[in-house]
């Protein structure tokens, strides 16, 4: 006899879970209870969910599951950065990185197995592409990070919140202090090419009965999938970061090939639509500093001119090298000079410190381990991009 595989409740946001319980003939509020057990108390064993009736717990155990990826490895950097290699249900592996700072803990979450965009300076691109992640695989990264960090006492954002009483279910929504206070969709993959699942997972991260992050604390980073930026504005207006990396189309076409499809002018117009009337919102523009390629004073002036009418914040990222790449990081004097030119033109600019380098957890170094359907990993070994 063929038995249906159990449904993974991690793939459901609150709406989906409410419908699920209604279909079971249960009250809608069961969804909120279940979300709290999973995401606020780290409990994924139905038998321990004591405010659900015994018969409901039994029914859930019979027909549903809360299946997480397997932690293959957990590496802790000297600077507190933590990286996990996670094995998914199909055997592919992805990476997730936690970056603790003084007042917050940021989790860098992957959205795809690999990436299809082929940006010249990115390690993930070299690995090729396999598939989109499902909602459960995206939200599980946040669950696993919080749970793992709490169990080893890393994070530093816990206060003395009372031990939740698992028996009575006595639990307050407001005294949450979790290691993960911010999420950036900046891991492996292009999140806007996995739109539905990424939006459902981000809604779950922001749900008060789940991790309760505010939309200011959830950032999506895109290489510039213009139509999806507009869709995001309508359906889930989180903070937006754009990987710009070049001040003109000629150079950006080489560094970020999707620019050939959606050139800078269209991209910036979409950014302006994204902020709309909201005077307080700015777009973060990421700019990876590549020696002799995009880091000259004239590039800086061109960038300042480009962004003069866009509410922006520029994030200069020192290039992180990886095996087989021919590019180099700009030296720190060049980066400082670049930053000063932008600041002099009134562009809010910061330099991102490189974190977790000793465990290959820095930006652009995430590679995972998966079957490359595109065979790009083979071709890339022979390819060398020429910059004039």
What residues act catalytically?
Answer: 95, 363
Closest CB to ligand SAH among residues 12, 99: 99
Window 95-124: residues binding ligand SAH (CB under 6 A)? 121-122
Rounded CA-CA distance 233/226 in Å is 11
Closest CB to ligand SAH among residues 99, 122: 122
Query: With binding defined as CB under 6 A, does residue 288 bind ligand SAH?
Result: yes
Question: Judged by CB under 6 A, which stretch of 18-26, 47-55, 314-322, 375-383 contacts ligand SAH?
Answer: 314-322
Sheet of strand 105-108, all strands in order from the earlier edge strand to the far edge: 70-76, 82-87, 93-100, 105-108, 182-185, 218-222, 239-243, 283-289, 312-318, 349-351
Give first-to-last CA distance, the chain, whole Å: 64
Window 119-178: residues binding ligand SAH (CB under 6 A)? 121-122
Query: With binding defined as CB under 6 A, does residue 243 bind ligand SAH?
Result: yes
In the list 13, 95, 286, 360, the residue contacting ligand SAH (rule: CB under 6 A) is: 286
Which residue is listed with tokens 């779950």? 204
Closest CB to ligand SAH among residues 155, 364: 364
Number of chain positions touching ligand SAH (CB under 6 A): 15
What is the nearest approach in angstroms of ligand SAH to the Cβ of residue 238?
13
Rounded CA-CA distance 188/109 in Å is 7
Residue ranges with strand state E in 133-214: 182-185
Helix-then-strand count for the chain, H and E: 12, 14
What is the nearest approach in angstroms of ligand SAH to the Cβ of residue 222?
5
What are the tokens at 154?
């890393």
Window 177-236: residues binding ligand SAH (CB under 6 A)? 186, 190, 221-223
Cβ-contact 171, 164 below 8 angstroms = yes
Give the 3-state secondary structure of residue 211: coil
In the list 44, 363, 367, 380, the residue contacting ligand SAH (rule: CB under 6 A) is: 363
Instruction: Name the strand (E) or helix (H) holding 53.
Output: none
Applying CB under 6 A, the residues found at the interface with ligand SAH are 121-122, 186, 190, 221-223, 243, 286, 288, 317, 319-320, 363-364
């Amino acid at each position: 006899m063929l038995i249906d595989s159990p449904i993974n409740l991690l793939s459901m946001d609150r709406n989906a879970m409410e419908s699920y319980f209604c279909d079971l003939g249960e009250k809608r509020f069961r969804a909120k209870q279940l979300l709290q057990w999973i995401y606020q108390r780290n409990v994924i064993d139905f038998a321990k969910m004591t405010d659900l009736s015994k018969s409901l717990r039994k029914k859930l155990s019979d027909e549903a599951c809360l299946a997480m990826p397997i932690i293959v490895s957990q590496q802790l950097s000297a600077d507190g950065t933590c990286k996990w290699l996670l094995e998914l249900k199909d055997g592919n592996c992805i990476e997730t990185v936690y970056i603790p700072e003084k007042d917050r803990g940021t989790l860098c979450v992957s959205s795809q197995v690999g990436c299809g965009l082929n940006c010249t300076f990115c390690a993930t691109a070299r690995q090729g592409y396999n598939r989109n992640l499902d909602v459960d695989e995206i939200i599980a990264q946040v669950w696993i990070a919080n749970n793992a960090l709490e169990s080893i006492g890393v994070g530093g954002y816990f206060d003395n919140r009372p031990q939740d009483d698992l028996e009575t279910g006595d639990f307050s929504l407001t005294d949450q202090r979790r290691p993960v206070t911010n999420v950036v969709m900046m891991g492996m993959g292009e999140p806007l090419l996995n739109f539905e699942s990424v939006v459902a997972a981000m809604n779950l991260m922001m749900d008060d009965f789940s991790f309760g992050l505010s939309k200011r604390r959830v950032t999506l980073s895109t290489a510039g999938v213009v139509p999806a930026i507009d869709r995001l504005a309508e359906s889930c207006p989180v903070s937006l970061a754009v990987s710009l990396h070049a001040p003109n189309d000629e150079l950006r076409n080489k560094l970020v090939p999707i620019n050939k499809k959606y050139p800078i002018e269209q991209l910036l117009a979409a950014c302006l639509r994204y902020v709309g009337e909201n005077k307080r919102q700015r777009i973060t523009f990421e700019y990876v500093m590549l020696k002799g390629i995009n880091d000259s004073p004239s590039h800086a002036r061109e960038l300042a001119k480009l962004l003069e009418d866009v509410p922006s914040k520029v994030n200069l990222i020192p290039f992180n090298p990886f095996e087989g790449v021919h590019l180099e990081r700009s030296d720190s004097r060049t980066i400082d000079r670049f930053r000063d030119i932008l600041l002099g033109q009134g562009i809010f600019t910061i330099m991102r410190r490189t974190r977790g380098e000793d465990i290959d957890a820095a930006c652009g170094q995430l590679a995972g381990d998966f079957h490359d359907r595109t065979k790009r990993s083979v071709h890339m070994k022979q390819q060398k991009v020429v910059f004039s």
